């Protein structure tokens, strides 16, 4: 059964064209049963790589032009090593990039979290570098993560470097294929988790199309990956714009001025740093109602009672209310813990301590006990407060309240004693509007990235299972025959 590519993705891709199976790069041809039938009537249709016959194999049906080979038949594998941690000489003053599983990103590896010393490189790695461009695969604990080295490096023993025989298989094709291989049948289970060994890696079955088709598959998927990378750059740039704008607004306010005039804006130093002279500094507890801890109960999947918002439901500053579970509770509980537009909830414990979420609209919902709700009084704009609690001024106070203890949570006394820069309501609205404009830009770019990621996932599956065949255009085939 052919899987659909999300239709909305076509609107966000430059250099792609829409087909019945979704968008593909404009210089590729997607062959489907309908296009194959039309070929006999249309001489301009793409040339097929072969007929539509399939054969059954150990990995499922594949086109008769493809074959199933063992990884060890088409590539040479080498394993890495981890220098003993107790030997300081191997880790002190490290200069040689050392790749661990956490560095594998299903993309290009341009840096590593750790580096080993020249001593370790000489004594343990025998001065043997793994060169840039090498394909890497994890085969222990976290199985099947891949990466291509963008730098010369070495790697640990849970990673294999793979050197393909490019007479029969392309590195980039193998890079994508290894992301969808079914490793389960080859895994061994140990105390620390599941793992493979070099022998089993060598016998992994790999679907192998002819080289021209490998090249086209890799081209399409690489094109989508480059589009995703471009989106990442746009998102990073937009976030930097917001960081810079936030610093400027909370330091100089919203008065219009050129850069040369910034120095003339009157400011003052306060306990939370430099702010406009006409702003005040107030305690959060003075401009908000008494904060409230959430309700303690079990979440339920059945639609009984209100939605039950938990810390884990807040992802990337947003909430997908359709995935939030429910809570069975009385009407009195609902009345006490009900969320309404303008409420801000704070994570009070765990890895996301201090993170917040502004409720803009929501179904009938209450909040769980690991959250604290803050509701503003008249005179304080909730949107302004929401922006402030994403600022450096806010995080400096939160981190100070932890006293250097990373796992320390926050509580109501911490929140009510936070110091808040407090301009007039009109200026609060102006600050919130300016920053919200950038937020909407970031959200739009993140939606485009999500659409591209969905497209990549669908295309990866469809191309590698031959639900889409990428064929050579008649024009390109004629050009090749003339060479």
Is 12 found in the same domain as 93? no
For 288-323, write each residue's pLDDT tens digit: 999 999 999 999 999 999 999 999 999 888 899 999
pLDDT of residue 374 exceeding 50: yes
Q: Are residues 34 and 10 in the same domain?
A: yes
Q: What is the mean pLDDT of residues 452-477?
A: 76
Please check the confidence at residue 424 and state whether its pLDDT lies above 70: yes
Q: Is residue 227 predicted with pLDDT exceeding 60? A: yes
**pLDDT at position 382, please?**
97
Mean pLDDT (whole number) for 380-392: 95
Q: In this structure, is residue 129 part of a structural domain?
A: yes
pLDDT category of residue 47 using cuts at 50, 70 and 90? very low
For 16, phi then psi, to 5°, come to -120, 155
**Mean pLDDT value across residues 411-425:** 95
In this structure, are 249 and 368 located in the same domain?
no
- Output the pTM of the full model: 0.75
Q: Is residue 174 part of a domain?
A: yes
Whether the pLDDT of residue 192 is over 60: the answer is: no
- What CATH number is attached to the domain comprising 251? 1.10.287.1120
Mark whether 231 and 286 lie in a shared domain.
no
State whether 197 and 221 are in the same domain.
no
Q: Which domain holds residue 380?
A: 280-422
Residue with tokens 């341009």: 110
Q: Where are the alpha helices (DSSP H) in 8-165?
A: 33-39, 71-74, 118-123
pLDDT of the residue at 43? 33
Q: Please indicate, yes or no, whether residues 231 and 165 belong to a single structural domain of this protein.
A: no
Q: What is the pLDDT of residue 196?
A: 84
Does residue 291 sit in the same domain as residue 381?
A: yes
How much is the pLDDT for 5? 38
Residue 137 is assigned to a structural domain of this protein: yes
Mean pLDDT of the chain: 85
Domain end among 371, 402, 422: 422
Question: Within this chain, do residues 216 and 197 fall inside the same structural domain, yes or no?
Answer: no
- Confidence at residue 26, expressed as pLDDT on a 0 to 100 scale: 54
Q: What is the mean pLDDT of residues 114-133?
A: 95
- Under DSSP, is residue 134 helix (H, G, I), strand (E, B) or coil? coil
pLDDT for res 48: 40
Q: Is residue 291 located within the same domain as residue 404?
A: yes
In a domain, 375, yes or no: yes
Other C-beta atoms lying within 10 Å of the C-beta of residue 41: 7
Are 59 and 80 in the same domain?
A: no
Res. 180 pLDDT band, cuts 50 70 90: confident
Is 461 among the domain residues?
yes
Residue ranges in 163-210 assigned as alpha helix (H): 171-177, 198-202
Average pLDDT over residues 203-216: 93
pLDDT digits (tens, 9 = 90+) for 331-341: 999 999 999 99
For residues 439-465, give the mean pLDDT: 91
372 and 306 within one domain: yes
Mean pLDDT, rounded, for 140-155: 94
DSSP-based three-state secondary structure for 184: helix
Is residue 373 domain-resident?
yes
Examine the pLDDT at 282 and tell me if it is beyond 90.
Answer: yes
Residue with tokens 């402030």: 388
Give yes or no for residue 240 having a pLDDT over 80.
yes
Range scoring the smallest mean pLDDT among 15-19, 122-126, 198-202, 345-349? 15-19
Residue 182: the pLDDT is 84
Which CATH number do you get for residue 114? 3.90.220.20
Residues 218 and 86 in one domain: no
> Percent of the chain scored above 70 by pLDDT?
82
Q: Which of these three, 208, 225, 250, is where a domain ends?
A: 208
In what helix (H) or strand (E) does residue 233 lie, and over which residues does it extend?
helix 211-252
pLDDT tens for 83-117 read 999 999 999 999 999 999 999 999 999 999 999 99
Angle (nearest 5°) at CA 440 between 438 and 446: 105
- Lowest-confidence region among 50-59, 238-247, 386-395, 418-427: 50-59
Residue 275 lies inside a defined structural domain of this protein: no
Predicted local distance difference test score (pLDDT) of residue 54 = 82
Among the residue ranges 229-238, 415-424, 461-470, the one predicted with the least confidence is 461-470
Tell me the average pLDDT across 436-440. Answer: 95
pLDDT exceeds cutoff 50 at 32: no
- Asked if the model's pLDDT at residue 33 lies above 50, the reply is no
Number of domains in the chain: 3
Lowest mean pLDDT among 175-179, 222-226, 466-470: 466-470
For residue 438, give the nearest of 246, 231, 228 by alpha carbon: 246
Within 13 Å, how many C-alpha atoms sit on residue 385's CB side?
29
- Cα torsion through 116, 117, 119, 123, rounded to 10: 10
> What string of DSSP letters covers 53-98?
-EE--TTS-EETT-EEEEHHHHEEEEE-----TT-GGGTTT--EEE
């Amino acid at each position: 059964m052919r899987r659909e590519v999300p239709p909305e993705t076509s609107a966000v891709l430059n250099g792609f064209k829409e087909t019945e199976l979704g968008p593909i790069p404009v210089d590729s041809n997607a062959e489907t049963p309908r296009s194959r039938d039309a070929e006999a009537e249309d001489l301009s249709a793409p040339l097929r790589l072969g007929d539509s016959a399939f054969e059954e194999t150990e990995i499922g049906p594949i086109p008769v032009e493809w074959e199933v080979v063992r990884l060890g038949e088409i590539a040479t594998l080498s394993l890495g090593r981890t220098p003993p941690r107790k030997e300081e000489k191997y880790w002190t003053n490290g200069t040689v990039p050392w790749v661990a599983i956490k560095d594998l990103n299903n993309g290009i590896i341009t840096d590593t979290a750790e580096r080993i010393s020249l001593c370790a490189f000489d004594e343990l790695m025998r001065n043997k570098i793994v060169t840039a461009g090498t394909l890497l695969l994890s085969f222990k604990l976290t199985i099947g993560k891949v990466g291509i080295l963008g730098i010369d490096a070495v790697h640990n023993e849970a990673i294999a470097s793979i050197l393909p025989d490019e007479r029969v298989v392309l590195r980039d094709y193998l890079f994508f294929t290894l992301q969808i291989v079914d490793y389960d049948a080859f895994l061994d289970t140990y105390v620390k988790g599941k793992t493979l060994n070099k022998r089993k890696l060598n016998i992994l079955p790999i679907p192998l199309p002819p080289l021209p088709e490998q090249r086209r598959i890799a081209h399409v998927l690489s094109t989508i990956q480059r589009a995703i990378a471009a989106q990442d750059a746009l998102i990073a740039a937009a976030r930097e714009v917001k960081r810079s704008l936030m610093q400027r607004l909370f330091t100089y306010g919203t008065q219009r001025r050129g850069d040369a005039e910034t120095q003339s804006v009157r400011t003052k130093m306060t306990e939370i740093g430099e702010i406009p002279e006409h702003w005040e500094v107030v305690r959060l507890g003075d401009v908000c109602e008494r904060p409230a801890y959430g309700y303690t109960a079990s979440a339920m999947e059945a639609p009984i009672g209100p939605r039950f918002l938990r810390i884990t439901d807040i992802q990337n500053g947003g909430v997908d209310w359709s995935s939030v579970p429910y809570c069975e509770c009385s009407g009195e509980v609902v009345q006490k813990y009900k969320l309404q537009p303008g409420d801000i909830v704070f994570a009070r414990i765990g890895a996301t301590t201090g993170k917040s979420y502004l409720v803009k609209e929501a179904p009938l919902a209450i909040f769980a006990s690991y959250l604290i709700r803050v509701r503003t009084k008249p005179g304080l704009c909730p949107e302004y407060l929401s922006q402030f609690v994403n600022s450096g001024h806010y995080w400096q106070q939160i981190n100070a309240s932890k006293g250097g203890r990373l796992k320390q949570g926050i509580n109501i006394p911490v929140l009510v004693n936070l110091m808040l820069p407090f301009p007039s309501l009109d200026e609060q609205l102006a600050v919130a509007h300016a920053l919200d404009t950038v937020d909407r830009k970031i959200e739009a770019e993140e939606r485009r990235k999500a659409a591209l990621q969905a497209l990549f996932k669908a295309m990866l599956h469809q191309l590698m299972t031959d639900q889409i065949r990428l064929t050579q255009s008649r024009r390109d085939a004629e050009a090749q025959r003339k060479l």
